[in-house]
Amino acid sequence: MSIAQKIKLTDYLPAEVTAGKTLWIGGTWESAQDGETFASIDPASGVEIAKIAQGKAKDIERAVQAAKKGAKVWAETGGMQRAAILRKAAELIRQTREALGTLDSIDSGKAISETAGRNVDGTAGMFDFYAGVTDKIRGSVIDMGPNTTGLVEKEPYGVVGAISPWNYPMSNAATKIAPILACGNALILKPAEQTPLSALLLAHILDQAGLPKGVFNVVTGFGAEAGSALVEHPEVPKLSFTGSTATGRRIAAVAGQKLKSITLELGGKSPFIVFDDADLDAAASGAVTTVFMNQGQTCTSCAKVLVARQLVDAFIAKCQEKVASIKIGDPLDPKNDLGPIVSQVQLDRVKKLLAEGIAAGARQVEVKADYQPVDGGNFIAPVIVTDLDPHNPLATEEIFGPVMAVYAFDTDEEAYAAANDTQYGLAASVWTTSLARAEVARRVINTGIVWINCVHTLSLNTPVPGRKASGLGSEYGLEALDNYMRLKTTVTMFGGYKGLF
């Protein structure tokens, strides 16, 4: 039995929500119009933990109408007032740390040590960061000659559609909610069907913080129903999506047809390069962190580990040593570092890819972690494989599971070629003590982020700009504001207009 099965959701969520009214529309909790629900499953035990309303096109329609009203009120709310509400939300998020962390853990299988720790800090931080800029948004004035003034204003879009994934449920939702609100928009969030609970508590928190009704709306449901209805809706001119590249392409195709603005944060196959002059211990620590954190379910995970040939054995030995200290088990047990994979579907996918990779010649290295799975859960122990050729499925596909694939290289050029030999361009991590190598790597590697002698070192002010099949636009930082405002130019003439005719 998992700890989640002993938890009472009524201790963490409003009573209406635990009764299955999980649509937050115009400031009230509602059921889906046709009354349908689906089960939310605890990944640590495979047991149902909640009934979730299965929102569809009609529910999206109701949410869009509520959001249009909310958008009007919010756009007329001054920046100082917006900042105060976002700041209050950050404070309430910190006060609700345990509940938010618990909900993300029972939904996604992430360890409570992470969810109630750095994930809540990051989520609250998002609201504080964008509270700090919402009252500082400015336009510009252009000198256009005598009697003429040009004004360039930044205006909100009105209603934004946000679709979030299951791997960092509350943090990824906050990465959208906070800047979208800071820019003066209303939004409709469609959280991933596997992990809707923390978004519902965030809705309650934003309400408590004084956000006007209708400004933030949540429609739970499946991607093909609620998600695509949101993407298609003619009164939602801006979409923000984080998830798989396949779904991102589908959304981009619709947005292209309808000429909507989109921000996409998609998949990756990010390289991790260890040169022969690297600090091997630090590099091994980085590799074990990036590959195994969150059970490998991180879009910026640098799991394609390229190591200078003469260091491969020593590097793998160090990784084995470090993996031995990772504790995997019930995600709600605070001593554990990792829990299960989010769903049976994802676990099956990872296992299938691993089996194909091994059949294609990858050699599995022995790894012993402190592995204590719960019966019925989607658990998988960390895996390290090596001796892969570049066509091995583990070398080409995004794995999204706890699998480190180690490749040997002989020359720097070979390492860079392998790093760039992918459809993706999200992140890279490079380990070297040579300034020249670091500089060349930074220039040659075609990814949005390059970490030198570190990995996953980010701040709220650091943009994450995906390239190639990894995304469009950039979340985080001041750059995210450009995603959620559009320009308006006004030219005013104070008399003296002379036309062509």
Name which position in 119, 171, 172, 247 contacts ligand ADP (CB under 6 A): 247
Angle between helices 120-134 and 79-95 (to 10 degrees): 170
Name which position in 109, 158, 223, 339 contacts ligand ADP (CB under 6 A): 223
Closest distance of CB 466 from ligand ADP, Å: 14
Instruction: At 326, give phi and psi (nearest 5°).
Output: -80, 130
Exposed, middle or buried, 20 (CB in 10 Å: 0-12/13-18/19+)?
middle
Given the residues 265, 302, 304, 318, select the one marked as catalytic.
265
Name which position in 243, 331, 340, 448 contacts ligand ADP (CB under 6 A): 243
> Is 165 a residue that touches ligand ADP (CB under 6 A)?
yes
Yes or no: say if 408 and 313 are a contact pair by the CB < 8 Å rule: no
Element (H, E) at 255: helix 245-258
Name which position in 244, 285, 420, 453 contacts ligand ADP (CB under 6 A): 244
Name which position in 18, 172, 185, 228 contacts ligand ADP (CB under 6 A): 228
Given the residues 56, 176, 260, 304, select the one marked as catalytic.
176
Name which position in 25, 63, 163, 427 contacts ligand ADP (CB under 6 A): 163
Yes or no: say if 254 and 232 are a contact pair by the CB < 8 Å rule: yes
Given the residues 114, 183, 269, 299, select the one marked as catalytic.
299
Question: Known catalytic residue: 299?
Answer: yes
Question: Known catalytic residue: 397?
Answer: no
Q: What is residue 224's DSSP assignment?
A: I
> Is 22 a residue that touches ligand ADP (CB under 6 A)?
no
> Is 176 a residue that touches ligand ADP (CB under 6 A)?
no
Closest distance of CB 366 from ligand ADP, Å: 30
Distances (CA, A) of 428 to 105, 305, 441, 457: 28, 10, 9, 12
Question: Known catalytic residue: 176?
Answer: yes
> Is 250 a residue that touches ligand ADP (CB under 6 A)?
yes
Residue at shortest CB range from ligand ADP: 223
Distances (CA, A) of 369 to 73, 287, 318, 462: 53, 15, 13, 33
Select the span of 63-71, 125-133, 216-224, 361-369 touching ligand ADP (CB under 6 A).
Answer: 216-224
> Is 251 a residue that touches ligand ADP (CB under 6 A)?
yes
Query: Measured between alpha carbons, how far is 40 from 46 in angstroms, rounded to an integer?
Result: 10
Closest distance of CB 126 from ligand ADP, Å: 19
Element (H, E) at 105: helix 97-108
Name which position in 41, 120, 178, 231 contacts ligand ADP (CB under 6 A): 231
> Is 224 a residue that touches ligand ADP (CB under 6 A)?
yes
Report the amino acid identity of residue 107. D
Query: Measured between alpha carbons, how far is 276 from 148 in angstroms, rounded to an integer?
Result: 63
Distances (CA, A) of 399 to 112, 292, 327, 402, 428: 24, 12, 21, 8, 16
Query: Measured between alpha carbons, how far is 258 from 266 in angstroms, rounded to an integer?
Result: 21
> Is 227 a residue that touches ligand ADP (CB under 6 A)?
yes
Question: Known catalytic residue: 265?
Answer: yes
The set of catalytic residues is: 176, 265, 299, 475
Name the site residues for ligand ADP (rule: CB under 6 A): 163-165, 190, 192-193, 222-224, 227-228, 231, 243-244, 247, 250-251
